[in-house]
Amino acid sequence: MHLSLRQLEVFRLFSKTRNVTETASLLRVTQPSVSQTLKEMENQVGFTLFIRVGGRMHLTPEATALLTEVERVLAQFSTLRGRASELRDGRSGKLAIASVSTLYTDILPAAMASFRKDHDKVHLRADTYTAAEVVQQVRQDHADVGFAFLPVDEMGVAVQPLLRMQVLCAVPDGHELARQKSVSARDLNEQEVIIQNADTPPGMVLHESLDRDGGFTARVLDTNHSIPALHMVRHGLGVALVHPLTLSLAVLEDYAITAVPLEPPIYQTLGMVYSRHRPVPRSVVRFEKYLRHSLQHFCEQMNGRGYHCEMLI
């Protein structure tokens, strides 16, 4: 038996109207088409669907029992069709994000808030990881998209550079370096410098750049995150080399910290990470529009404060 959706729809409507002419009018088809569809359905199920009694059409007991199941199937199909429409239009589904913590200070929450207004039925999940863990989450399909600092050395993922940012030196207000327009590696030699260790992508870039430029012999306090570095500056442990994403915490004003650009400049690049082994989810493609707006706003803020920030997407 191969009942079609069209047969079920005609049968349900005819069971309500009990009139071929009215059914045909509502479906905008011809009367012979309705009669033929009902006859074909009877041949498929193997029993009579309607009988005429006293000039009126009535459902047979078998048809009455069948109608309950037909209503259920058509209701499920309507739900399925609505669900598919939501997924197609991006109003439903899921979006799982894995990111380094500093992106959650401003850029990601702003993008997520705008995205949620237009896609309120999309289930959002946002988790914080180290750069290496971000890559692992995406490679193992636990996250739809990831955000981490470059370089990313992993064959199972692809990377789209997003932002190129100038590294800054965070110093307490009133510190001698706070009065300078820029800070050189030699300026740091008399300081204790808080810096991300070389096991992290930002730390690796910093260490390689400082070693290559030469003249950097300062005492170093290693950490694996940039946000704690600002808290260390606040408590007088030293000055910190950080990327501008930390500035969106607004702790510079609250903690009386000044950020001064390095000279010659050292740059950090933030990237979007996605799997090479499966198509980019539609939810990620849609989210990218909101992310671009958030990135653009952040860059404008940083450039307005004299810190070089460049969008790469």
CATH superfamily name and code, 92-163+270-290: Periplasmic binding protein-like II (3.40.190.10)
For strand 145-149 and strand 92-99, is the pairing parallel, antiparallel, or unpaired?
parallel
For the beta carbon of residue 79, count every other beta carbon within 10 angstroms: 10
Q: Peptide bond preceding 109: is omega within 30 degrees of 0, i.e. cis?
A: no
pTM score: 0.69
- Delimit the domains of the chain by residue range: 5-88, 92-163+270-290, 168-265
- Structure confidence at residue 282 (pLDDT): 84
- Structure confidence at residue 127 (pLDDT): 95
Domain 5-88, classified CATH 1.10.10.10, yes or no: yes
For the beta carbon of residue 285, count every other beta carbon within 10 angstroms: 12
DSSP code per residue over 131-182:
HHHHHHHHHTTS-SEEEEESP---TTEEEEEEEEEE-EEEEETT-GGGGSS-
Domains 5-88 and 92-163+270-290 share a fold: no
Report the topology of domain 168-265.
D-Maltodextrin-Binding Protein; domain 2 (3.40.190)
Local structure of residue 264 (DSSP, 8 states): S
pLDDT in tens, the chain (313 residues): 678 888 888 888 888 888 888 888 878 888 888 888 888 888 888 888 888 887 788 888 888 888 888 888 877 776 666 556 555 655 557 899 999 988 988 899 999 999 999 888 888 999 999 888 999 999 998 999 999 999 888 778 899 999 999 999 999 988 999 999 999 888 888 899 999 888 888 888 888 888 776 678 888 898 888 888 888 998 899 999 998 888 765 555 666 888 999 988 999 999 999 988 888 888 898 899 999 999 999 999 899 988 899 999 8
Tokens of 88: 């197609």
* Phi, psi angles (nearest 5°) of residue 92: -145, 175
